[in-house]
Structures are given as C-alpha cells and as structure tokens.
Amino acid sequence: MKSRTELEVELEEVEKKITPTSKQLDDLLNHFAVSVVPEVKGWIKKEAISQMEENHAKVNEAGVDFVREFKGDVVALLENIDEICLIALGPKDRWPHNKELQQQDLYASSQNDFFSDAFRRAISSLGKILDARGLLTGSTQNSSWRRAPSRGYEYAYHPGFDGRKYEEVETYRELLRTHWELKQSVSRIKVSIEKAKTRELWDEV
C-alpha cells in the first residue's frame, strides 16, 4: 500500500501529463477548423446553386441583377469562411476534452457527432443569405432548411460529413481516450490520498 507521499508524487506526475495533452487536443481542433474549410466552401457553393435552381421561377423573373447580388453575398461569406469554421467548433469549454465525459462518450459515433455538428454549423452560415434573398419558403416542413433559435436557419438533413477523411479527427479520438484515462487516474489517486490521510490519523492516536 502506497504512502501518502508516494501518492502525491504519483499525482503530480500524472497531472503534468494532462496539460500538454490538453494543448495537443486544442491544436487538433484548431487544425481541423482549417482543414475543413475547402469542404465547407465546396458545400456552400453547391447548395447556393441548388437553391437557385429550386427557386428557378423566382430567380429567372428577378433576372441577372438578383443573381449578381446573391452571388456577391455568397462570395463575401466565403471570404470569411476560415473564421466561420473556427467559430463553428463552439465555445472552448464545450469541446469534448474540456467536458466531463463518460466512457461511452469516447466511442467514434459520439465524437463524430461533435465534428458533424461543427460542420453543420459552418455550412448553415449560408441560411441567413438564402433567407434574406427570399430563397427559403415560409414553411420549412419539407425543406432542407429549418429555423434554428439564435441562428435563423440551419441545414436540416445529414450534410454528408465523414470525419474519417480527416487525420485530425482520427488523432483527436485516440488522444481523447488517453486524456480521459489520465483524468480518471487523477481522480483515483486523489481518493487514495484521502484514504491515506485517514490511515495517518489512525496511526497518530
């Protein structure tokens, strides 16, 4: 049975590993936000054209000026897409490695939800433009876009995102398990230290 001093040394060693691991995880998410930019750009361009085609009667009636202005809006959006993709990751304190996770949260399906949601938030930046240009109908029950609190509109269907294409996603998943195990070790060692304190009290009397 380890002494309190031995456990405190062990705790310090494990805690030293957590900080650099957290930094690595931060970096991986930031790198992902950069890597996903081309896919987000391509998706937005394709969807912008698709929505024009869906509203062909309105677009053809409005003419070239409408298309020029709409395309200008989309181009302006794409010029800011780097920042949009970073913001789409959400608040840093909500990143998976900064939350209290359960073991089941470490599975690929759970982590894919985080990256897929980030991708959806990024592409949904197009919704505001589509709405402003009247390309989204008032009723969105059968639409690929739906109203979303605080964001106006968001893409309603599965956007076709596959995290397996991104090295950052796969590396993040693996490192997240290591990070979780380190935090679990810290919790266990802290409990052991408290028990050791109790034994010391017994020995003192």
Q: What is the pLDDT of residue 141?
A: 44
Asked whether 114 and 97 are in contact (CB, 8 A), the reply is no
Q: What is the pLDDT of residue 200?
A: 84
Q: What is the pLDDT of residue 4?
A: 87
Residue 180 domain boundaries: 4-204
Please tell me the pTM assigned to this model.
0.87
The list of the chain residues with pLDDT below 50 reads 139-142
Number of structural domains in the chain = 1
